[in-house]
């Protein structure tokens, strides 16, 4: 049925969040099932797929630049096609649809977040009949987890438990491009996890825009804590999850950090702002006091937990006092990592219509002040690992030096260590090995493999 795809080479660009990374793995799985093959060299591809993100404007603008920049790159010499097939999917595809083809005539296929299973058919249609096609769907009743998948790494798997979001934080475009929240049946999630463990997967990351509200749309309303327990019981060596909304983080989930041995001691808990007034305008539905209460409970349940967060600087109407409250919160919590973003108005969201008169230079200065604090705290947090021996899941080699292992500790800290003599990185990749930490830097720990 998709015979025009057989033998074709394709390249995938993935931007944005883990959900996109997971969708890309499904796309690779589907296209390979149709007889096409993935290439790691863009110039060798006959088909290119952009999996896009529109959460902030910078990514949006960059995407158009990138799509335009590949326009004149010739096809591989062996190809008999007239032109490379250019496909845009993900969140920008969902939002802009046909407009992308109208604006960039070399784009052939546009698809969205709700119909990735249609991609092989759409490409096949273009290869057989020519022309352009944009196909975007409002809501889907399938889950991408039903599609074939080709994991980026053998040892690590994303496992979506919900898709979409019902929270409508006022700055965020996600609910408009990923649709309403839907949960997968707990039995399917656990069955998938069992299959992954049987394949030798070392680390499963449960995914959802807000995993904590899992199950509200299902019969019997199973809770996220039940999913955690079910997946942990498969015996997967490492279990993680993302992302967690503070308003829905339950005591049961917090306690799981103390009781489930394979739930890794690391939690990403986006706070967004340390000012109650801003949190209210963001429609986050919690106060700073509530958030700090959660942090206390988490540290009581699991004293060694590493915390990370997301923060938006320059939300409309942010005063110096509001910013100072955010700065103080970051200092108080002591995060291992903070993803800091300058507020970016997204058309169609409520915040885009809010009065915003803080000068750009003031926001930039606040941002830089915050980043400095983030770094100081990350360094401080990492010191607790100095001289400890940690289990490290080897991911590959360091970007700068291919004789240095790069891997992750249970706390999700990056760990570097020289490859031991007589071993190769291929032997070590995907295995968990003990590393003694000799020195703790701001963004990584440097150590020696314990043999």
Site string for ligand SF4, 114-153 (x = CB under 6 A): ----------------------------------------
CA atoms of 175 and 13, how far apart (whole Å): 23
* 53 known ligand binder: yes
Does 271 participate in binding ligand 5AD (rule CB under 6 A)? no
Does 236 participate in binding ligand SF4 (rule CB under 6 A)? no
Question: Which strand (E) or helix (H) includes residue 9?
Answer: strand 9-14
Of 31, 69, 67, the closest CA to residue 52 belongs to 67
Does 95 participate in binding ligand SF4 (rule CB under 6 A)? no
Does 21 participate in binding ligand 5AD (rule CB under 6 A)? no
Number of H helices, E strands in the chain: 14, 19
Cβ contacts of 105 within 8 Å, gap of 6 or more: none
Contact present, 26 and 144 (Cβ < 8 Å): yes
Q: Residues for the chain: how many in total?
A: 451
Of 191, 189, 234, 193, the closest CA to residue 215 belongs to 189
Nearer to ligand 5AD, 135 or 276 (CB): 276
Nearer to ligand SF4, 181 or 203 (CB): 181
CB of 65 to ligand 5AD, least distance (A): 19
Does 177 participate in binding ligand SF4 (rule CB under 6 A)? no
Q: Which residue is nearest to ligand 5AD (CB)?
A: 310
Of 13, 14, 73, the closest CA to residue 44 belongs to 73
Of 120, 232, 112, 197, the closest CA to residue 163 belongs to 112
CB of 55 to ligand 5AD, least distance (A): 5
Of 86, 95, 128, the closest CA to residue 114 belongs to 95
Does 279 participate in binding ligand 5AD (rule CB under 6 A)? no
343 binds, options ligand SF4, ligand 5AD, none, Cβ within 5 to 8 A by partner type: ligand 5AD
Nearer to ligand 5AD, 236 or 363 (CB): 363
264 binds, options ligand SF4, ligand 5AD, none, Cβ within 5 to 8 A by partner type: none
Site for ligand 5AD in 148-207 (CB under 6 A): 171-172
Contact present, 238 and 228 (Cβ < 8 Å): no
Site for ligand SF4 in 208-227 (CB under 6 A): 209-210
Given 115, 162, 167, 381, the residue binding ligand SF4 (CB under 6 A): 167
CA atoms of 377 and 311, how far apart (whole Å): 15
CA atoms of 82 and 75, how far apart (whole Å): 8
* 302 known ligand binder: no
* 169 known ligand binder: yes
- Residues in binding contact with ligand 5AD, number by CB under 6 A: 12
As a whole number of Å, the CA-based R_g of the chain is 23
CA atoms of 391 and 373, how far apart (whole Å): 28
Site string for ligand SF4, 241-280 (x = CB under 6 A): ----x-----------------------------------
Angle at 117 between CA 114 and CA 119, to 5 degrees: 100
* 87 known ligand binder: no
CA atoms of 21 and 158, how far apart (whole Å): 9
Site string for ligand 5AD, 318-357 (x = CB under 6 A): -----------------------x-xx-x-----------
Question: Which strand (E) or helix (H) includes residue 33?
Answer: helix 18-33
CB of 341 to ligand 5AD, least distance (A): 4
> H-type helices in 233-275, by residue range?
251-259
Given 34, 116, 169, 325, the residue binding ligand SF4 (CB under 6 A): 169
CB of 354 to ligand SF4, least distance (A): 16
Of 13, 22, 20, the closest CA to residue 84 belongs to 13
> H-type helices in 34-118, by residue range?
57-69, 90-96, 98-103
> H-type helices in 87-185, by residue range?
90-96, 98-103, 119-129, 174-178
Nearer to ligand SF4, 184 or 346 (CB): 346
* 172 known ligand binder: yes
Does 168 participate in binding ligand SF4 (rule CB under 6 A)? yes
Both tokens of 343, joined, read 């507020």
* 91 known ligand binder: yes
Contacts with ligand SF4 by CB under 6 A lie at 165, 167-169, 172, 174-175, 209-210, 245
Contacts with ligand 5AD by CB under 6 A lie at 55-56, 171-172, 270, 272, 310, 312, 341, 343-344, 346
Binding positions are 17, 53, 91, 165, 169, 172
Binding positions for [4Fe-4S] cluster are 17, 53, 91, 165, 169, 172
């Amino acid at each position: 049925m998709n015979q025009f795809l057989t033998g074709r080479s394709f390249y995938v660009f993935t931007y944005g969040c883990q959900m996109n990374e997971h969708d890309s793995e499904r796309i690779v799985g589907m296209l390979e099932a149709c007889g096409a093959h993935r290439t790691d060299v863009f110039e060798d591809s006959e088909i290119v797929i952009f999996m896009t993100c529109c959460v902030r404007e910078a990514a949006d603008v960059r995407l158009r630049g990138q799509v335009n920049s590949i326009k004149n790159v010739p096809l591989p010499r062996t190809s008999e096609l007239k032109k490379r097939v250019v496909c845009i999917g993900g969140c920008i595809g969902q939002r802009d649809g046909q407009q992308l083809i109208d604006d960039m005539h070399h784009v052939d296929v546009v698809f969205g977040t709700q119909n990735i299973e249609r991609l092989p058919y759409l490409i096949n249609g273009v290869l057989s009949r020519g022309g352009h096609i944009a196909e975007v769907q409002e809501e889907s009743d399938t889950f991408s987890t039903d599609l074939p998948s080709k994991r980026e790494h053998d040892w690590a798997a994303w496992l979506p438990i919900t898709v979409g979001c019902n929270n409508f934080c006022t700055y965020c475009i996600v609910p408009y491009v990923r649709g309403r929240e839907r949960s997968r049946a707990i039995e399917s999630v656990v069955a998938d996890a069992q299959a992954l463990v049987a394949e030798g997967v070392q680390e499963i990351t449960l995914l959802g825009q807000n995993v904590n509200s899992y199950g509200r749309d299902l019969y019997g309303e199973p809770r996220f804590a039940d999913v955690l327990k079910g997946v942990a019981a498969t015996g997967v060596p490492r279990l993680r999850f993302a992302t967690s909304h503070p308003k829905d983080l339950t005591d049961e989930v917090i306690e799981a950090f103390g009781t489930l041995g394979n739930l890794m001691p690391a939690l990403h808990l986006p706070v967004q702002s340390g000012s109650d007034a801003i949190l209210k305008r963001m429609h986050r539905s919690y106060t700073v006091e509530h958030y700090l209460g959660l942090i206390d409970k988490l540290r009581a349940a699991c004293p060694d937990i590493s915390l990370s967060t997301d923060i938006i600087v320059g939300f409309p109407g942010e005063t110096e006092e509001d910013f100072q409250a955010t700065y103080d919160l970051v200092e108080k919590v002591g995060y291992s990592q903070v993803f800091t973003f300058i507020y970016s108005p997204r058309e169609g969201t409520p915040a885009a219509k809010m009065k915003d008169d803080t000068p750009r230079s003031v926001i930039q200065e606040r941002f830089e002040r915050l980043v400095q604090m983030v770094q100081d705290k990350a360094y401080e947090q990492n010191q607790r690992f100095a001289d400890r021996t940690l289990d490290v899941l080897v991911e590959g080699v360091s970007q700068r030096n291919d004789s240095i292992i790069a891997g992750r500790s249970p706390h999700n800290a990056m760990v570097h260590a020289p490859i031991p003599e007589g071993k190769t990185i291929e032997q070590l990749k995907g295995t968990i090995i003990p590393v003694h930490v000799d020195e703790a830097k701001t963004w990584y720990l440097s150590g020696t493999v314990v043999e």
